Amino acid sequence: MKILPTVGRVVWFRAPEEFQIRRAGDDEPFAAIIAHVETESQVNLTVFDHFGHPHPVVNVHLVQDGEDIPESGTYCQWMPYQISVARGEIPPVLHAQPEKPAVA
């Protein structure tokens, strides 16, 4: 199932230990927001390090479910929840509408 990238969507960013914001021995993904879509498989991101600092990363390969990870080890991917919703395995979470303020 291919999910089309759009500006503002959240993805997981992964990079090898040599990447400037990665801490040695830590393989946890970074939260990232798609800032620009180059193609269906190439995006520009704002990546947040583990301290919440933003870092621009351009021309990142978006690995879709079932695709191989690039040899460079630098890529982004959809979160498991997003993949499960796209497959129809779980329903999307619908957030409640904001309450209307009481009229005095």
Q: How do residues 53-70 score in pLDDT, each as one tens digit?
A: 999 999 999 999 999 999
H/E stretch holding 62 reads: strand 54-63
The pTM of the full predicted model, rounded to 2 decimals, is 0.83
Q: Where are the alpha helices (DSSP H) in 1-104?
A: 80-87
The answer on pLDDT for 95 being more than 90 is no
Residue 81 domain flag: no
Burial class of residue 31 in the structure, from the number of CB atoms within 10 Å of its CB (0-12 exposed, 13-18 middle, 19+ buried): middle
Residue 20 domain flag: yes
Q: What is the Cα–Cα distance from 33 to 3, expressed in whole angstroms?
A: 15
Residue 40 domain flag: yes
Query: Residue 52 has which token pair?
Result: 């919440």
Q: How do residues 13-62 score in pLDDT, each as one tens digit?
A: 998 877 777 666 677 899 999 999 999 999 999 999 988 999 999 999 99
Number of domains in the chain: 1
Residue 38 domain flag: yes
Residue 99 domain flag: no
Its domain, for residue 26, covers 10-70
50 close to 23: Cβ distance less than 8 angstroms: yes
